[in-house]
Amino acid sequence: MDDLTSRLHVLRGREVPLGGPRGMTVMRTLPHRDCSLVGPWCFVDQFGPDDVSATGGMQVARHPHTGLATVSWLFEGAITHRDSIGSHVLVTPGAVDVMTAGRGITHSEFTTNDTTTLHGVQLWFAQPDAQRFGDPAFALASTERIEADAFALRAGFGEHSVTGPGDQVVTARGDLQMGVPLDFLEITLDPDIEVTAHLDAGHEYAVVVDRGPVTVGAGERPVVEADGYDLVLVPERSESVRLTAGEAGARVLLIGGEPLGEDIVMWWNFVGRSHEEIAEFRARYQQEMGFEGADGEALDPDSDAARPATEGDLLFGTFPPNTPRPLPAPRLPGGRLRLRGRRPQERREGRGT
């Protein structure tokens, strides 16, 4: 990929089974081999519309996170969220669900029994080094759908201004403050409608396409065509982005934020700053969940020791009894985990073209 200031780039989603090889399939656009960060956003999964009767929907048992925040945004269906700090809530369309992992948290996510179709997006943003060992937290907030002439807005984070047909200017603002400058705006367009979203030139942005096709433009650069499950990287230092829906209309998410300014190591559900740190997070989780002993050897699943810990200095907290068994962490790869940044490492080190 050439320099991220020169043109728009379309990243195609790749299929990933959620929660294991028999899980619901999601389409993942971040991280990508060509770009790992958009502002602090480091992970984007799109799912659905998913027929829950055929796939079972989202069935993700207890699992860990460190150094990041998860964001759930639904278009259809509902999810039950439970975590190790005592949260147990219903997530529905029109709400933004944010779980901040800090030094460590575990949670589970299950489609509700009355959900027939599940459709939405889940994202992560990396916490800055100064915040990533803070206390875990959870927040759930309602958002307002703002109707305009031929388009609608719904803001999760940040303040936004969009110019539509007839030069009408519509603003939307997300109420949650996360300690880092974030942008998150849902834009729904009627057929053949063009709008211009105004940007902070100091932030990095991407357009996540839920429903298209949509034509995306920025300044005088050539436009690109994108469709569902695509992510379009907006050139850095752009002051606006144009979105033009096709004859079927479109729905996109505009995500962005202030550049993180740090490289991260991201593996499985952990974000850290080194291979050794990730290895320690994994070992601690495996021990607290009763999968491995302090020596790293697997425990007999029928032994008393092979149960999640319920007392002591627990990094990943506790869960109520009679909930599904936690997910075990996969084995670390044979080589060292590498740092990720906005651009591929070889290009930042001058080895690419």
Nearest alpha-carbon partner for 172 in 151, 148, 153, 150: 153
- Residue 56, classified by CB atoms within 10 Å of its CB into exposed (0-12), middle (13-18) or buried (19+), is middle
User: Could you tell me the sign of the dihedral formed by the alpha carbons of 330, 333, 334, 335, in that order?
Assistant: negative
Residue 144 annotated as lining a ligand binding site: no
Please tell me the distance from the alpha carbon of residue 153 to that of residue 296, in angstroms, as a whole number.
Answer: 50
- With b for 16 or more beta-carbon neighbours within 10 A and e for fewer, the 26-40 pattern comes to bbbbbbbeebbbbbb
Please tell me the distance from the alpha carbon of residue 298 to that of residue 290, in angstroms, as a whole number.
Answer: 9
Distances (CA, A) of 120 to 44, 111, 200, 239: 11, 12, 26, 28
As a whole number of Å, the end-to-end CA separation of the chain is 8
Name 172's Cβ contacts closer than 8 Å, sequence gap at least 6. 144, 146, 153, 154, 155, 159, 160, 162, 185
Residue 63 annotated as lining a ligand binding site: yes
Name 127's Cβ contacts closer than 8 Å, sequence gap at least 6. 40, 67, 68, 69, 100, 101, 102, 134, 180, 271
Structure tokens at 116: 């027939």
Residue 109 annotated as lining a ligand binding site: yes
Residue 32 annotated as lining a ligand binding site: no
Binding site as annotated, residues for Fe cation: 63, 65, 107, 109
Binding site as annotated, residues: 63, 65, 107, 109
